[in-house]
């Protein structure tokens, strides 16, 4: 389909421009005393609208002689030749319109007046066709640029999705590795507890495998996942592990990246509670501050705990996922105090594309 017909706004602007051109032609012909107002309107108005559609053929001249691949002189010659032929054909149509109007007494002299105006109208027709060709070259350039931009955005989205899938695929092995370490620690000291933990772990994995395939899940479900993981760890730590959840009203339905809290909660257990003989409380809180969702996971820690041998995969994964999803709109802050370790996430909650992805999943 012709690019002007493909867009109603373009078609409206195009026809409005030709209506203005028709008015200018009428003014010129009347000013030159070539036609009266009645003759100018009766003749030039239909001729202008006919030429408006004839000039659309300049698109095919543009496609046959693309500026990037054709020399300037060759393009100029083709455009001038096409404009001459189109203008000549237009004048033949105008001659027919003038002949029809001459049958009416009011326009009895129109035929002869039209003949005397042919050189002027031929030049005007060529000029208008050249202008239409320039407009079509601009339209083609605009459409090409927009198509290239759309293609670049599609490739960017595909690259982002591939990266997110790769990052999400790291979460399960990382979590499984830590969980198996926990079970291994129980097998020698408390075999029944290790068996219970294995069963709970299997159930937990079924849930995480399902939710982990989704890009976003409600915050309430993300909290339940964290609570389920801590219930498994409580088999090993008993009363030493306490979990406290604080969620402000209205936060539960906000979409967040699936399993985004999982590595943080694991670190709170393995690098916080595990080093304290008396254990402690892991606090998971959620608050909303205008367009930001504030998530915070805090746990007590031993100031004399041994240096962690962790690869930092968990927190690194979180940073990369948030950067990929939100750009610079999301932030990760870590507070490493003497007796408390905390990780805070700040996520935007009003991004339209995030909401669309959430509902689509």
pLDDT at 49: 92
What are the start-end ranges of the H helices in the chain?
8-31, 37-54, 58-64, 72-102, 110-116, 118-187, 191-212, 219-237, 262-270, 313-326, 352-360
Residue 81: partners with Cβ closer than 8 Å, 6 or more residues away: none
CATH topology of domain 190-360: Heat Shock Protein 90 (3.30.565)
- How would you list the strands of the sheet with 280-289, edge to edge? 241-247, 280-289, 292-300, 340-348, 331-336
Quick: pLDDT tens for 99-154: 999 999 889 889 999 999 999 999 999 999 999 999 889 988 888 888 888 877 77
CA 84 to chain centre: 45
Which string of DSSP letters, residue by residue, matches 254-303? SEEETTSSHHHHHHHHHTTGGG-TT-EEEEEEEEEETTEEEEEEEEE--T
DSSP state of 240: G
pLDDT at 131: 93
CA 343 to chain centre: 30
At residue 320's C-alpha, the angle toward residues 315 and 325, to 5°, is 125
CA atoms within 13 A on the CB side of 354: 20
Quick: pLDDT tens for 283-303: 999 999 878 999 999 999 887
Radius of gyration of the chain, Cα coordinates, nearest whole angstrom: 37
CA 110 to chain centre: 58
Quick: pLDDT tens for 187-243: 877 788 888 888 887 887 777 777 666 778 899 999 998 898 888 888 878 889 999
Determine if residue 279 is left, alpha or beta; phi over 0 gives left, psi from -120 to 50 gives alpha, anything else beta. left
Residue 345: pLDDT over 80: yes
Confidence band of 323 (pLDDT split at 50, 70, 90):
confident
- Average pLDDT over the chain reads 84
- What would the mean pLDDT of 36-44 be, rounded to a whole number? 92
Residue 332: partners with Cβ closer than 8 Å, 6 or more residues away: 315, 318, 319, 322, 343, 344, 345, 346
d(CA 296, CA 321): 17
d(CA 89, CA 94): 9
Taking the CA atoms of 265, 268, 269 and 270 in sequence, report the sign of the dihedral they define: positive
Tell which residue, 316, 319, 314, 321, has the closest CA to residue 162.
321
pLDDT at 231: 87
Longest distance between any two alpha carbons in the chain, whole Å: 116
Determine if residue 327 is left, alpha or beta; phi over 0 gives left, psi from -120 to 50 gives alpha, anything else beta. left
The torsion angles phi and psi of 104, rounded to 5 degrees, stand at -90, 140
pLDDT at 361: 47
Residue 262: pLDDT over 50: yes
Residue 354: pLDDT over 50: no
Per domain, the residue ranges of the chain are 8-151, 190-360
């Amino acid at each position: 389909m012709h690019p002007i017909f493909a867009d109603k706004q373009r078609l409206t602007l195009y026809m409005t421009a030709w209506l203005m051109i028709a008015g200018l032609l009428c003014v010129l012909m009347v000013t030159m005393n070539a036609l009266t107002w009645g003759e100018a309107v009766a003749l030039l108005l239909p001729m202008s609208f006919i030429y408006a559609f004839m000039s659309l053929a300049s698109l095919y001249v543009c496609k046959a002689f693309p500026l990037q691949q054709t020399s300037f002189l060759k393009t100029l010659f083709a455009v001038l030749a096409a404009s001459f032929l189109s203008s000549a054909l237009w004048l033949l149509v105008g001659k027919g319109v003038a002949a029809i109007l001459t049958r009416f007494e009011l326009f009895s002299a129109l035929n002869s007046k039209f003949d005397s105006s042919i050189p002027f109208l031929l030049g005007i027709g060529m000029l208008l066709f050249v202008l239409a060709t320039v407009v079509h070259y601009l339209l083609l350039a605009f459409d090409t640029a927009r198509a290239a931009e759309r293609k670049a955005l599609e490739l960017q989205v595909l690259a982002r999705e591939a990266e997110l899938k790769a990052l999400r695929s790291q979460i399960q092995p990382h979590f499984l590795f830590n969980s198996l370490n926990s079970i291994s620690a129980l097998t020698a000291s408390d075999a029944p507890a290790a068996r219970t933990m294995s069963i709970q772990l299997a159930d937990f994995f079924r849930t995480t495998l399902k939710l982990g395939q989704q890009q976003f899940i409600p915050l309430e479900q993300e909290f339940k996942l964290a609570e389920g993981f801590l219930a498994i760890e409580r088999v090993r730590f008993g009363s030493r592990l306490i979990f406290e959840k604080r969620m402000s009203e209205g936060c539960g339905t906000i979409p967040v990246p699936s399993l985004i809290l999982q590595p943080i909660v694991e670190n709170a257990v393995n690098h916080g509670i595990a080093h304290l003989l008396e254990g402690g409380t892991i606090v998971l809180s959620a608050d909303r501050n205008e367009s930001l969702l504030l998530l915070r996971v805090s746990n007590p820690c031993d100031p004399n705990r041994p240096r962690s041998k962790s690869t930092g995969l968990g927190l690194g994964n979180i940073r990369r996922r948030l950067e990929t999803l939100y750009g610079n709109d999301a932030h990760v802050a870590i507070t490493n105090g003497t007796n408390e370790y905390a990780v805070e996430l700040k996520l935007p909650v009003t991004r339209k594309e995030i909401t669309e992805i959430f509902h689509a999943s």
